[in-house]
Amino acid sequence: MDRRSLPWGWVSNLIAVVAVLPMAALTVTLARQPHVSLRAGSAWSSIGLTFILSFVLVGIAVGFAIWSSDEPDESGLLMLPSALLIPAVIGIRGEVDEQSALRALALATIVAAFAALMSWSVARPLRAFAPPAALCVTVLALWLTGHGPTFTTTSGQIVPLLFSLLFTVTVLVGVATSGLSAFAHQIELESRPSYARDIEGDAARANMAQRPPLR
């Protein structure tokens, strides 16, 4: 199947729902339990899930970067729903139940859709800035509305460190996916014969203003 025929916008949201949302909800829930600390020996499950979730986010970013290497400006938009879920879930107040998780998912998908829509109206070189801008605006809005990271006062310092790690990984994948996709595209071009590169360049220039930002 031609990868151009795949509805990658739907695939992006499906991955966010199936892979990222349950793991993020479980990670945040365990980290917010009372007395989570290294000294008490109760933080290892939270640490393990945090690292697993971080690797999953990096893996998703690499996958979208490779599969969208022909359109590097789209890869960051495809990564955006998964990336936005992290601050949205961390900002949930109280228990992370089905209703609150659905609200976090709705926030992530609405912001991601709005970022994709806005990228339609800007030049292609500027579209790579839409995902990090949407991520920064979402994090800032959550923080200003009192939905920043929270944890119990009996928890050790490992909990804010874990949340900081998740935020750092989220920002990195949100910023770097488009650049990684462009790098993969360059490697793919250099691996082709010279005549194939010339044809690819002519086709890309011909389609520069014809394709929408998301398939």
pLDDT of residue 18: 92
Question: Could you tell me the residue range of the domain that residue 42 belongs to?
Answer: 3-206
Give dist(CA 158, CA 160) in Å, integer. 6
Q: Quick check: is 213 in a domain?
A: no
pLDDT of residue 201: 53
Sign of the Cα torsion 65, 66, 69, 71 reads: negative
pLDDT of residue 107: 92
The pair of structure tokens assigned to 14 is 């499906």
pLDDT digits 0-9 by tens, 161-181: 999 999 999 999 988 888 888
Give dist(CA 179, CA 128) in Å, integer. 8
Q: Quick check: is 212 in a domain?
A: no
Q: Taking the chain, what is the end-to-end CA distance rounded to the nearest angstrom?
A: 15
Residues in Cβ contact with 169 at an 8 Å cutoff, skipping those fewer than 6 apart: 54, 57, 58, 86
Low-confidence ranges of the chain (pLDDT < 50): 1-6, 195-197, 199-200, 208-209, 211-215
**What letter represents residue 77's amino acid?**
L
The pair of structure tokens assigned to 206 is 């011909």
pLDDT digits 0-9 by tens, 172-213: 998 888 888 888 878 877 776 654 445 445 555 555 445 444
pLDDT of residue 39: 81
Structural domains in the chain (count) = 1
Q: Quick check: is 214 in a domain?
A: no
**What letter represents residue 94's amino acid?**
G
Angle between helices 98-119 and 72-90 (to 10 degrees): 150
Q: Quick check: is 110 in a domain?
A: yes
pLDDT of residue 165: 93
**Structure pTM?**
0.81
Q: Quick check: is 197 in a domain?
A: yes
Q: Quick check: is 34 in a domain?
A: yes
